[in-house]
Amino acid sequence: MIAIVGLLIGAIIGLVLEPEVPAALQPYLPIAVVAALDALFGGLRALLDGTFDDRVFIVSFLSNVVVAAVIVFLGDQLGVGTQLSTAVVVVLGIRIFSNAAAIRRHLFRA
């Protein structure tokens, strides 16, 4: 519950402030968002598995975001930024899908 409330509060702050994303961060923000979504779904699945741990969730959330951004940054430096960010998005997307499938089975047995 508190996570959903936090999500809503963050969204409202973003809508109200309408901040400009710094140019240096622009390529990394979408990847970081996808990585955070992945961590969120992973956390929800762990919760339903009965293996949820706050500390692990926080660490994995932050490291997911940082690692994704670092991968894209490295790709940019190596000249394969577009391909690497596509790869990251694909991998994270697959994980989100499988996590969502696991959550679905937990909740609906289907």
* Residue from 3, 66, 78, 90 in contact with other proteins (CB under 8 A): 3
Least Cβ distance, residue 63 to other proteins (angstroms):
9
Q: Are 43 and 58 in contact (CB under 8 A)?
A: no
Q: What is the 3-state secondary structure (H, E, C) of 34-72?
A: HHHHHHHHHHHHHHHHCCCCHHHHHHHHHHHHHHHHHHH
Least Cβ distance, residue 102 to other proteins (angstroms):
4
Kindly state whether residue 94 participates in binding other proteins, applying the rule CB under 8 A. no
Range 21-50, binding other proteins (CB under 8 A): 21, 23, 26-27, 29-30, 32-33, 36-43, 45-50
Number of residues that bind other proteins (CB under 8 A): 64
Least Cβ distance, residue 56 to other proteins (angstroms):
5
* Residue from 74, 90, 97, 105 in contact with other proteins (CB under 8 A): 105
> How long is the chain?
110
| Token pair of 99 as six digits | 């996590």
| C-alpha span between 54 and 46 (Å, rounded) | 10
